[in-house]
Structure 1
């Protein structure tokens, strides 16, 4: 069913991984899509072709989501193309793992916080300004924000502020019927550091009650729910997509 027909969705960091899966899911449900990429135009063009093959309008916009001017330009181009936005997904982010809290540098801190915290804040701010009444704001967080872990001080810390902003937006935008929610994925095969595998994969599989990593489809399923009419009264929530794991 084309449950998102006549809707427009903007997904940051959608040239690969979770962002790509969410954008393609929304397109399959009938939404027009605004893709975003940073450097890899070839990957973005591939996603653009896939989305357009589903029979929906789509554009791909290069923008560095750590730069406020680029974020503003992305939203302006989306508005010029479609005249409205109904769904905004703040997904763009960068990972840094296996780094003890005693060892990170100022440059590493600034790099992660400029995209994961600052970029998310200003993306959601632009989304709050642009999204239509009864629209949807989503933030793709990380399970490290729910379960602090060794080696994740900077990464988990940089992904935490977005969750707080979601709580605030749920309250501020509720009168307009707009929902704001977070998706908190487990380690996900085919996304981030797990795109090509990682030394911790076997441990994470064994530690999960379901005996596997998350998939990009698992996360897209939740993004579909939050974007749908079924979630019209679900806001300010942070949904773990982790198979019952405690890490």
Structure 2
């Protein structure tokens, strides 16, 4: 079994969904946790309670990841609380689908690129500055960056640039023994926007997948566990698809 005993993990956007699942997985492996949320303090407090019940230490920090100054403050508060950061997961993001290129607006562009691109870039930058030697940096991407389809130009586009940064950063800080990787999930049934099984788009996603299902948060947490552990110590600059063998 992997152990993250005495490690400190910071996960952005961790009051719900994938971020919550990853934070709770790391806590179960012994890591102390820095949770992050934007607005929903009640949800963050519930996750904080769940994690502390596992016998580890944890804090929840409100910070808007679309604002670099708040990202900086998040890392400063984490270092103040725990003196170090060993694992960073850049997870915070927003989804948008079913919007053709001819229809998307400047407001939608700004919303997605400010959080999914700018937020991820500055989170990864702060991670590079603060993560311990031998640490782990993980970017949560999207399978739309690998298999484009109609209606996801803004979302897939906003998630593509951070993948490039992952490859550059892996080269720049690899000498410190730090690994930098992306997880690329398929549509997730118990997180994000794909939660209504009666929706035609969800039925299509299930039928089009060789395993005849969508991803679950635990599927993504499994890979996040691998990338955070010693098992991945020589895996860096990579983008791992978690998509059940789908080719779309």
Superposition TM-score tier, normalisation by shorter sequence: over 0.9
Aligned counterpart, 1:68: 68
Q: If the length of structure 1 is used for normalisation, what is the TM-score?
A: 0.98
Q: If the length of structure 2 is used for normalisation, what is the TM-score?
A: 0.98
Aligned counterpart, 1:225: 226
Aligned counterpart, 2:126: 126
Shift of 1:96: 0.7
Quick one: distance in 2 between partners of 1:87 and 1:183? 14
Moved over 2 A (4+): 195-199
Q: Secondary structure at the match of 1:122?
A: helix
Q: Secondary structure at the match of 2:182?
A: strand
Aligned counterpart, 1:88: 88
Note the residue ranges of structure 1 that are not aligned, 5 or more in a row: none
Shift of 1:199: 3.6
Verify: 1:204 aligned to 2:211, yes or no.
no
Q: Secondary structure at the match of 1:6?
A: coil
Shift of 1:2: 6.2
Q: Secondary structure at the match of 1:188?
A: coil
Aligned counterpart, 2:44: 44
User: How many residues matched?
Assistant: 247
> In angstroms, what is the RMSD of aligned CA positions?
0.9
Shift of 1:92: 0.2
Aligned counterpart, 1:236: 237
Segment of structure 1 superposing worse, 199-208 or 149-158: 199-208
Quick one: distance in 1 between partners of 2:189 and 2:213? 9
Note the residue ranges of structure 2 that are not aligned, 5 or more in a row: none
Q: Is the 8 A contact 2:11 2:23 kept in 1?
A: yes
Q: Deviations over 1:18-46 (max 9, x none)?
A: 00000000000000000000111111011
Verify: 1:21 aligned to 2:14, yes or no.
no
Aligned counterpart, 1:163: 163
Counterparts of 1:143-182 in structure 2, within 5 Å, are 143-182=143-182
